[in-house]
Structure formats: structure tokens, C-alpha cells
Amino acid sequence: MKCRSCASALGEPVLDLGFAPPSNAYLPAARLNEPEVHLPLRARFCTACTLLQLEDHSDPQSLFTPDYAYRSGTSRSWLVHVAEFADAAIAVLSLDARSQVVEIGCNDGHLLGIFAERGIPSLGIEPATEAAQVAREAGMEIIEEFFSARLAGEIANRRGPADLVVANNVFAHVSDINGFAAGLGTIMKPHGVVTLEFPHVLSLLRHAQFDTIYHEHFSYLSLGSARHVLERAGLEVFDVERLTTHGGSLRVHAQHRDAGRPVSPRVHRLIQMEVEEGLAESETYMQLQGRAEKIKDDLLHFLLEARRRGARVAAYGAAAKGTTLLNFAGVRPDLLPVVFDAAPSKQGKYLPGSHIPVKPASSLRAGDWDCLLILPWNLADEVVAQLEASAAAGTTFVVAVPELTVLTDPGCRESGPMISGTTEWPIRRVGAQNQQVP
């Protein structure tokens, strides 16, 4: 395999998570006895352009299917995040009825709808049929297709280029990352702006976020590796923001090379930080394998010990990262009988690989479970706040990444199986006053 960014030869994998199904390929009950596709889940590092990337074993059409289950609108914190972004973009770029906004990978249209409500002409591009339909029903204009340089040219010729092009958590999801970047330049006005958000590979490495590696994520980007891709497409990164979303993300602002905006000192500072953190060295990435295996072992120890003690343990949040974690650890319904989730698109189905049933979050009753394993650890604070009745009833909340950690310990069941001062539980307790995942 050659690097999907610069075509340089790649070395041996720096992380091998075995074989796994696509993380969002949730199964209906009728398909549980059918053969299930499992693909190698291995990451390689390019020493030439510093891009961490998955091996080529899948194509986007097989991953982002018409019934692709992810919905952005199920997370309250994400809705606040996109509203703040829209407000800032409208103010800084002076967007109005004469402007145009294009969102690539608009999903169910929550961000796009904010611009439309302000009278700003908006267009969404979303290849997943069911998500696109949700956005259409909300009044959005949607093109149901994968974004490409060809599609960008067609849109620019038909509607005119855009003042703002937004791609939140899309850049890492494309296999042809160079063609995607070329399309960004084509669809943007000469003085327009493109804004990309993606998980920062520095956070992945610092906090052992190996569960964010799954087949839908073809690339794991630093500012340096993203800048290499954009520069080849004639685009210049002029600013960058570090975000807390998805466990640590970047928001990169780019323009045509001759657009004239000065490059922020933040760009140079972050590039230097990445170099100092070793993001240009393959040895840095090789450390992730041992940390992933430690997390796997600790989770299994925790679940096995809970079963031995008769503790009732369920999971919350049928997130893609949970699919990676549970399949890598070999967790099945005998250790984790159910996962609760707020997204109707996932409810009544089963997690890929592990076949753990997904039930509505509304069916979670306070007091039914001694412990809830929060799979989307990046939303742990939000989940704990939503489930305060369960906490009051004595349920303990746990995350497995970056290490097995108890987020709350209400102390309501001091004689119960989950509350123990012994060293048998490989967990670090974090009091309710400090619920932030480290």
C-alpha cells in the first residue's frame, strides 16, 4: 500500500486491532445468523507526509450505506457546538442573503438549518439516504451524493461558488483525500473560506484513543499532515482552533493561496508543538499498540469480575468507537447484555460483531443497573447529567478509555458488589466533582 496522501511507500503497521466489521453496520434481528463482513483494522504511518492511515480494505460506498445510522442531532453538546460555530461564521464572514454556504456531509442538517433560518442560501451534500431525508424533511436542499472534484465543479457552475464551505468530521472519512481537497478549492469563491473539523491525532496518541480507529475513518490527521494535503490542492491554512469535541479536535480554516488573509501565529505554534510531540516519528505511533492492549485487558478484567460478583453491568451509547473497543476486547452479550442509545436509527438493532442488542435510552430505568459503561467517553459528562436519576439510585458510571475510570461513585450501595475498596478492581475513582475524562 502507498500513502493515500503523497503516494510514498508505507512501512509495517504501527497498530493492529485484528479484524472487525464496519463500526456503523448495525444489524437487524433478521440478519443475526447471516455471515458478517470482517475486515483487517490496521493503521500505517507515512514518514514522508506524517499521515496516519488505515490500510485499503474498504470503499466508502460499502461503509456509508443508505441506512448509515449516525445522527448528529442526538448529542446536545454537539448541537450547542454547531450553533456557536454558525454564529461566529456569520459574524466574521458577514454572511447574508447574498452569500452561499455549502456543508459537505451535512448528515441530518442541524448545522445547515441554522444558516437557512438566518436567510443565508445553503446547500447540503450527504450520501446517506436516510440522513439526507431527515435533512430534506427539515427544509434543507440536499444533494445525495459523495463529494468529489467533479461534483464540486457541477455545483459551482450551476449555483456559483460558496463563501463558506463546511466539512465537520468528514475530511478523515474520505479515501480519496486529494480529490476531496481539490473539490474544496473548486467549490469555494476566490476569497471564500473552507472550514474543516477532524479529531486531532495528537489527542489520539496522548490519551490512547485507539477506539476512534475504525473503517469509516480512513485518515488520522495532524495539522501538519492536513496542511500537506491542502497545499497540494492550492489551499493555504490561515488559522486553526483546538476544540474539545470528540476527545480533542482541530478546526482548520483554509483559503485559496492568493486570497490574502494573514496566517495566524496559532498555525506555526501548533505545527511546532506537533513536531515536539513526535508526530513526525513512527516510534511515537508504535506505542499505541501496548496501550490499547492494556485498556482491553483492564476492561475484560472489570467485566469478568463484575460477573463473578453478580453485578449488573450495561453499556450506554452505541457509538462507533464502542464497536472498535468491544470487538477488539472480544466482549459479547454474556458480559455486556445490552447497550442503551438515544438514536432511533440504532434502536432495535444489534452492534456489529458483538451482537449486543441496542435498546432505547428511554427504556433505561433508574436502579436497574449497578454500573453503566459509557462507550462514547467524549460525551461522558453529558451522559452522566442526563442520567442523574440512575446516579441517585446508586448506578456507577465507568469509561474504559484512556484508562478504566469510575466517573461517579454515589456511595448509595456500600454493601453492593460494585462498591469496593479492594485492589481487585483495576479502576481509578474520580469524584462527582471532577467527572471530566482525563
Residue 174 sits in a domain whose CATH number is 3.40.50.150
Q: Is residue 43 part of a domain?
A: no
116 and 233, same domain (yes or no): yes
The grid cell for 394 is: 446508586
279 and 311, same domain (yes or no): no
Q: Is residue 8 part of a domain?
A: no
Count the domains in the chain: 2
Q: How far apart are CA 169 and CA 98, in angstroms?
A: 27
Q: How far apart are CA 251 and CA 186, in angstroms?
A: 20
Q: How far apart are CA 269 and CA 281, in angstroms?
A: 18
Q: Is residue 10 part of a domain?
A: no
269 and 188, same domain (yes or no): yes
243 and 329, same domain (yes or no): no
262 and 386, same domain (yes or no): no
Q: How confident is the model at residue 65 (pLDDT cuts 50, 70, 90)?
A: low
Q: Is residue 276 part of a domain?
A: yes
pLDDT in tens, 27-59: 999 999 999 999 999 999 999 999 999 998 666
Q: How far apart are CA 252 and CA 246, in angstroms?
A: 15
Q: What is the pTM of this model?
A: 0.87
Q: Is residue 354 part of a domain?
A: yes
CATH number of the domain residue 396 falls in? 3.40.50.720
Q: Is 283 exposed, middle or buried (0-12, 13-18, 19+ CB in 10 A)?
A: exposed
pLDDT at 419 over 50: no
Q: Among the three residues 250, 283, 316, which one is the final residue of a domain in this structure? A: 283
271 and 335, same domain (yes or no): no
196 and 315, same domain (yes or no): no
pLDDT in tens, 257-303: 999 999 999 999 999 999 999 999 999 999 999 999 999 999 999 99
246 and 305, same domain (yes or no): no
Q: How far apart are CA 374 and CA 247, in angstroms?
A: 14
Q: How confident is the model at residue 107 (pLDDT cuts 50, 70, 90)?
A: confident
pLDDT in tens, 367-418: 999 999 999 999 999 899 999 999 999 999 999 999 999 986 543 333 233 3
Q: Is residue 394 part of a domain?
A: yes
Place of cell 491542502: 230
Q: Among the three residues 226, 255, 283, which one is the final residue of a domain in this structure? A: 283
Q: How far apart are CA 334 and CA 319, in angstroms?
A: 20
* pLDDT score at 108: 85
262 and 333, same domain (yes or no): no
CB 121 within 8 A of CB 184: no
- Domain of residue 416: give its range: 301-429
174 and 236, same domain (yes or no): yes
pLDDT in tens, 340-373: 999 998 999 999 999 999 999 999 999 999 999 9
Q: Is 72 exposed, middle or buried (0-12, 13-18, 19+ CB in 10 A)?
A: buried
Q: Is residue 198 part of a domain?
A: yes
Rounded to a whole number, what is the largest CA-CA distance in the chain?
69
In Å, how far are 77, 79, 359 from 388, measured between CA atoms?
A: 17, 21, 19
* pLDDT score at 399: 96
Q: What angle do CA 268, 270, 273 make, to 5 degrees?
A: 110
pLDDT at 148 over 80: yes
319 and 270, same domain (yes or no): no
Q: How far apart are CA 293 and CA 379, in angstroms?
A: 23
DSSP annotation of 261: P
76 and 196, same domain (yes or no): yes
* pLDDT score at 246: 84
Q: Is residue 438 part of a domain?
A: no
- The H or E element that residue 60 is part of is helix 60-63
* pLDDT score at 407: 86
